[in-house]
Amino acid sequence: MRGTVTIIDKGDVRVHSYMAPDDSINVTTQLIETPGRLVAVDGQITIAGADEVVAYAKELGKPLDRLIITHEHPDHFQGAARFNAPIHALAVTRDQMAARGDLKDPTGIPVPAAEVAPTVLITPGTEVIDGVPFVFEALSGGETSDQLLIRLPEHGVLVAQDVVYHKTHVFVGNHDLDRWQIILQELADPAYDTILPGHGLPAGQAVLAEMAEYLKVAGELLGDDGQAYKQAIIERFPTYAAPLVIDISNFYLFGTPIVIPSA
């Protein structure tokens, strides 16, 4: 396995957090294991990464109930079809994904829009899945224009996905840092001792302050020169993984071409 799986035991729920390797920008898929089934969150950037998650899930011996897509960035849904499960998302996310049209994963494998299109729409609120309450919240602004947040209040789990990055460089291409800081402040709650990021390993509440500091620095360093920003942000956070995320940000901000390194 090229990715890394972290298992968190929460009693009648276990979280299996799959993090892709650095060349796949450490993007995560969360497998939430309830007493009788699995709920997957986000579908990986590459087909190969999705296949690794699916193979791991099969070893757990429980049916995959659904795949939830939290937002419309392709690194979180390009492998969705490989899960062979109903795809759930907010209506706005479904529409934003459709607007992207057909894609290719970083290795060049086609990703037809019809194959990854959500077929079940999520309504914000509480849904009990296999006896476990899942609270779905719609967020606006921050890392992207629209995003789904998932809470498991009885288990202290916050599935933050791209609201939070952990020890990886952060996509700031939406350039909505002020709103993002507000969201991070609102998420501070010691009742949620497990935070699952969209990039990086599972974390605790301290990751919210780390994210806030990164965004503060990013706001100070961003100018009109993407390469200068990349050099400066790496110097400030030299141990952070996934520098390719900076290039993706620069593409959105400045139109700088993205060079995908070979695996």
CATH number of 52's domain? 3.60.15.10
Q: Name 9's Cβ contacts closer than 8 Å, sequence gap at least 6.
A: none
Q: Is the pLDDT of residue 259 over 80?
A: no
What is the pTM assigned to this prediction? 0.97
> Mean pLDDT over all residues of the chain?
96
- Mean pLDDT, residues 131-147 taken together: 98
259 lies in a domain? no
Q: Is the pLDDT of residue 262 over 90?
A: no
CA atoms within 13 A on the CB side of 28: 30
Q: Is the pLDDT of residue 79 over 90?
A: yes
Q: Is the pLDDT of residue 263 over 60?
A: no
Residue reference for tokens 């291409």: 173
Number of H helices, E strands in the chain: 7, 14
260 lies in a domain? no
Compute the distance between CA of residue 178 and CA of residue 197 in angstroms, rounded to an integer: 19
pLDDT tens, position by position, 151-185: 999 999 999 999 999 999 999 999 999 999 999 99
CB 246 within 8 A of CB 230: yes
pLDDT tens, position by position, 104-130: 999 999 999 999 999 999 999 999 999
CB 37 within 8 A of CB 64: yes
- Give the structural domain span for 238: 4-254
pLDDT tens, position by position, 180-227: 999 999 999 999 999 999 999 999 999 999 999 999 999 999 999 999
Compute the distance between CA of residue 188 and CA of residue 96 in angstroms, rounded to an integer: 29
261 lies in a domain? no
154 lies in a domain? yes
Q: Is the pLDDT of residue 132 over 60?
A: yes
| Cβ neighbours of 17 (radius 10 Å) | 23
164 lies in a domain? yes
127 lies in a domain? yes
In sequence order, what are the beta bridge partners of 88?
68, 120
262 lies in a domain? no
Q: Is the pLDDT of residue 256 over 90?
A: no
Confidence of residue 261 (pLDDT cuts 50, 70, 90): low
pLDDT score, position 81: 98
- Mean pLDDT, residues 234-262 taken together: 89
pLDDT score, position 257: 82
What is the count of structural domains for the chain? 1
- Mean pLDDT, residues 22-38 taken together: 98
34 lies in a domain? yes
